[in-house]
Amino acid sequence: MPIKVLIVDDSAVVRNILASELGSDPAIEVVETAPDPYVAREHIAKFKPDVITLDIEMPRMDGITFLRKLMKHFPMPVIVVSSLTQKGSELAMEALNEGAVDVMCKPGRAYSVGDMTTSLIEKIKAAARVRIEDFDALKDQLHRSKPNLALTRTTNKVVAIGASTGGTQALEYILTSLPSNSPGIVIVQHMPERFTRSFSLRLNDLCRIDVREAADGDRVVPGTALLAPGNMHMVLRRSGATYYVEVKEGPLVKRQRPSVEVLFNSVAKYAGSNAIGVILTGMGSDGADGMLKMKQNGALNIAQDEKTCVVFGMPNEAIKLGAVDKVLPLAKIPEAVLQYA
């Protein structure tokens, strides 16, 4: 059975583009489109879609208000498709907190229609596998069980983390659990540009470590986490005893930019046995081959377990390759990182 998708967007042009592009995939059926949440509500009752794509800047009722009502009365997987603006990215972060499983930006300067819809199709297929009830229960459980960890001394280890669908919540849990002297961290979370800046600012407000969107040449030092900018690859480099990152353009790798594969390959080369790898929830295989190279070069690697993943694709691919040393529930990962460090 194809995945039934409802498109909610106030722009007729966007609705038509998305309907045409998504409908070209045999695994997806666009059951209807809606110009606002009021029409969407009627279509939800009639067609019972598996996944909704939702614009969050709409007249009559904004997307955040609609999302809250939807999650209360008809919980289902929602992917936010937002404009590439500062306001749009900030609202997208709010939408993730309200229960959306992923975010995308509309086609424009940074993303062609082809690139955007290729990525959106992957996200829809991942979202269709998500059980929203389990997703909400997991979030509640993690907020109740968050540890307050400490590290007795600083370390020059490098922690490399890769995540996709569901990763924003997983990253928030891990990073807010870590002490201020945690090892330096480099992160790829599949997310559009500008959205990563809003995400890093949100995390920085919540964490004891400093979290920021990476800039070219930033040093990887204890107490700091660097998040790859959306639509840019990030690689680790080394000069003497100093680690730093290079942020650069490049083609999609494993259909992604930024790509976990690109980051992990560089960590394998420049950090070797001084690295700790973590692969979190997400669809596809991005990062699995790079994680295997990390292990072959002496890194210690952790994968999130199936039960606590929103989508078990990326961790499962790394596990099947033999790239992982430990498979752990999300709640155990921060402590394991510090033990390895």
pLDDT confidence tier of residue 160, bands split at 50, 70 and 90: very high
For residue 181, is pLDDT > 90?
yes
Strands 233-239 and 51-54: unpaired
Strand partners, 34: 8
Which CATH number belongs to the domain containing residue 214 in this structure? 3.40.50.180
So what's the pLDDT on residue 265? 98
d(CA 171, CA 156): 21
Q: How many domains does the chain have?
A: 2
So what's the pLDDT on residue 27? 95
159 plus 218 within the same structural domain: yes
Residue 138 lies in a domain: no
So what's the pLDDT on residue 110? 53
So what's the pLDDT on residue 122? 87
pLDDT confidence tier of residue 149, bands split at 50, 70 and 90: confident
Q: In the 8-state DSSP scheme, what is residue 129?
A: T
193 plus 302 within the same structural domain: yes
So what's the pLDDT on residue 262? 98
119 plus 151 within the same structural domain: no
So what's the pLDDT on residue 329? 94
86 plus 203 within the same structural domain: no
Alpha helices in 37-165 (DSSP H): 37-47, 63-73, 86-97, 113-127, 132-144
pLDDT confidence tier of residue 141, bands split at 50, 70 and 90: low
Is the distance from CB of 279 to CB of 287 less than 8 angstroms?
Answer: yes
Of the candidates 83, 190, 218, 289, the residue annotated as catalytic is: 190
CA distances from 91 to 57, 63, 198, 223, 239 (A): 8, 9, 9, 28, 39
Q: In the 8-state DSSP scheme, what is residue 182?
A: P
Mean pLDDT score of the chain:
90
So what's the pLDDT on residue 156? 85
- Looking at per-residue pLDDT, the higher value among 87 and 13 belongs to 13
Place of tokens 């404009």: 83
pLDDT confidence tier of residue 60, bands split at 50, 70 and 90: confident
Q: In the 8-state DSSP scheme, what is residue 43?
A: H
Residue type, 60: R
d(CA 324, CA 278): 9
**Chosen domain end from 113, 133, 153:** 133
Q: In the 8-state DSSP scheme, what is residue 321?
A: T
308 plus 173 within the same structural domain: yes
235 plus 288 within the same structural domain: yes
Can you spell out the DSSP letters for 80-113?
Answer: EEE-SSHHHHHHHHHHHHTT--EEEE-SSSSS-H
| Residue 268 domain boundaries | 144-340
d(CA 267, CA 277): 9
Is the distance from CB of 248 to CB of 229 less than 8 angstroms?
Answer: no
**Chosen domain end from 133, 159, 190:** 133
**Chosen domain end from 133, 156, 180:** 133
Residue 43 annotated in active site: no
179 plus 101 within the same structural domain: no
So what's the pLDDT on residue 57? 84
Least confident among 61-75, 101-115, 160-174, 269-283? 101-115
For residue 10, is pLDDT > 80?
yes
129 plus 17 within the same structural domain: yes
Burial of 320 per CB tally in 10 Å (0-12, 13-18, 19+):
exposed
Residue 182 annotated in active site: no
188 plus 331 within the same structural domain: yes
Of the candidates 9, 25, 218, 286, the residue annotated as catalytic is: 286
> Please, which residues have CB within 8 angstroms of residue 124's CB and are 6 or more apart in sequence?
3, 5, 22, 28, 51, 53, 79
Residue 285 annotated in active site: no
109 plus 234 within the same structural domain: no
Q: Which long-range contacts (CB under 8 A, 24 or more apart) does 314-317 make?
A: 314/162, 314/163, 314/164, 314/260, 314/279, 314/280, 314/281, 314/282, 314/283, 314/284, 314/285, 314/286, 314/287, 314/288, 315/279, 315/280, 315/281, 315/282, 317/284, 317/285, 317/288
d(CA 69, CA 194): 27
Is the distance from CB of 333 to CB of 308 less than 8 angstroms?
Answer: no
Of the candidates 82, 89, 119, 164, the residue annotated as catalytic is: 164
pLDDT confidence tier of residue 245, bands split at 50, 70 and 90: very high
pTM (2 d.p.):
0.91
d(CA 214, CA 249): 14
Is the distance from CB of 168 to CB of 190 less than 8 angstroms?
Answer: no
Instruction: From 171, 127, 142, 143, select the one nearest 278 (Cα to Cα).
Output: 171
Over the stretch 200-216, which tens digit does the pLDDT of each residue have?
Answer: 999 999 999 999 999 99
Over the stretch 255-270, which tens digit does the pLDDT of each residue have?
Answer: 899 999 999 999 999 9
